[in-house]
Amino acid sequence: MIRIISALVGLGFTVVVVFAFFTGLTTVISDGELKPETAEHEFHKHPKEVSFAQDGLFGKYDRAQLQRGLQVYKEVCSACHSLKYVAFRDLSALGYTEGQVKALSAQFQVPGIDSNTGEATTRPGTPTDYFPSPYPNNVAAAAANNNAIPPDLSLMTKARHDGTAYVYSLLTGYQEPSAELVKKFPASAPGPGLHHNPYFANLNLAMAPPLTSNGQVTYAPGNPEPTIDQMAKDVSAFLAWTAEPKLEKRRQTGWAVLGFLIFATILAYLSKKQIWSAVKPRRED
């Protein structure tokens, strides 16, 4: 009786699995037949191939590039985007001295309280403060950006697939929509206040091209020429650092742990050989 019940249960389970498989297959086929191709599916592009100093298993941040990226963020991106998870004191990791960090933080106005009236006010930033938002609230942010709230950039390269390459591609990808796109999907042409960018998910975004000309940011002597491409790379590398400032230390710790595990494995194997060397295998008659 138990065997019969077990067989019936197994048969029922098999029927359910087969039914689910064919139901899913039918759904996929029907979706492919009934749903037309979308402009996003056909014209959206994957991020460009671009390399950074921190890429790879042994990669390290280029401090000079990070400083240039901070300058691009400060002079261009900070007008709309915040870095609410980055404190000014964290910039010491980029090679800045304590005095330089104090001077840089004082260039930003952060929320404060008037000690005499108790009312909200602003004050120059200090190293313990975090990068402030350029807007007092989301309503003001949306009103200034065609009803689109500029996202915080602290973790942007971790929040997007191929994050660093995505940011670089987005910054350098603004262009006019192709004639094929306009002809095939006229509704996908950018409307008022929107800008076409094939590296953005739905092809059009409210953010105007932030990098518009070579030399928009003036680098210190000895640095590469501030072309649009170079500035995009530099700020993308900087945002990779804001998202993962402990990258180098994590890799160093990982290699040390891996080396220890390899050594411990070899030691355990040799110990096993030594302990069992005097034990002869049992003979069977």
Query: Which amino acid, residue 71?
Result: Q
- Give the span between the Cα atoms of 26 and 28, in whole angstroms: 5
Beta-bridge partners for 205: 195
- Give the span between the Cα atoms of 196 and 67, in whole angstroms: 30
Six-digit token pair at 160?
Answer: 């997007």
Which residue from 195, 214, 248 is spatially nearest to 56, judged by alpha carbons? 248
CA angle 103, 64, 128 (to 5 degrees): 35
Residue carrying structure tokens 């409210």 = 206
CA angle 207, 213, 218 (to 5 degrees): 110
How far CA 74 is from CA of 69, 96, 97, 233, 234, in Å, comes to 9, 15, 18, 15, 12
Is 44 annotated as a binding-site member? no
Query: Which amino acid, residue 124?
Result: P
Q: Are 98 and 92 in contact (CB under 8 A)?
A: yes
Is 77 annotated as a binding-site member? yes
Q: Are 217 and 211 in contact (CB under 8 A)?
A: no
DSSP classification of residue 151: P
Q: Are 226 and 215 in contact (CB under 8 A)?
A: yes
Is 81 annotated as a binding-site member? yes
Tell me the CB-side half-sphere exposure of residue 23, using CA atoms within 13 A. Answer: 6
Annotated binding site: 77, 80-81, 207
Enumerate the known binding-site residues for heme c: 77, 80-81, 207
